[in-house]
Structure 1
Amino acid sequence: MFNQQALFNEQQNFQGDKGYQGGKNITTPYKKKKKQELSEEQKTENKILSSQRIFVEHLIRIVKIFQIASQRFRLNSDVYNEIILTVCGLVRLRIGTLIL
């Protein structure tokens, strides 16, 4: 699997969900340990992080409405980029109509 972070500057910081814990330069939410609760400070930081990421999560949801972007791609891999760019263009068009 290709590491997209290799394309960015080493000083670049990222925000991710719990699936990215342990990654380099990635800010992730705190995870509750077994039989322990999160402190109020940790809960507040998790809320701030999730409020910053919510826009991206909504965009991912809109892209996944198109089944070809959410399921295994079974066609020739050469056309994959064209199809994903078309889907993203349709999503941008949809967002433009929602905002206006």
Structure 2
Amino acid sequence: MKGDKGYQGGNNITTPHKKKKKQELSEQELAENKALSSKRIFVENLIRAIKIFQVASQRFRLNSDVYNEIILTVFGLVRLRIGALAL
């Protein structure tokens, strides 16, 4: 799993390196932080794309069977949009 600095100390979570007091990060640590953030930004952008559809970010008040169909449609639209952006 990947996480930001808020998840430090958890098992199985990769977090960025922190700068120690009065010390700088090494070039390798900076490169690892950059690689981690570039992977995380893709996921954050996917979450943003899904939340654009209000049904995914607000409380759903209808039947749960309808919700499953709607959320799968939202995911399909996001995948379609990502495919269009990648071309």
Structure 1 runs of 4+ with >4 Å offset: 30-33
Equivalent residue, structure 1, for 2:81: 94
* Aligned-residue CA RMSD (Å): 2.6
Equivalent residue, structure 2, for 1:81: 68
Aligned residues: 85
Q: What are the Cα deviations for residues 58-86 of structure 1, in whole angstroms up to 9, with x where unaligned?
A: 11111111111112222223333222211
TM-score (norm 1): 0.64
1:52 CA drift (Å): 1.8
Name structure 1 gaps, 5 residues minimum: 1-13
Higher relative contact order by CA 8 Å / sep ≥ 6: 1 or 2? 2
Determine whether 1:21 maps to 2:13. Answer: no
Taking the aligned partners of 2:68 and 2:23, their CA distance within structure 1 comes to 42
Percent identity, aligned pairs only, is 75
Higher gyration radius (CA): 2
Residue 89 to residue 39, structure 1, CA distance change in 2 (3 Å): same
Taking the aligned partners of 2:67 and 2:23, their CA distance within structure 1 comes to 42
Name structure 2 gaps, 5 residues minimum: none
Residue 32 to residue 61, structure 1, CA distance change in 2 (3 Å): farther
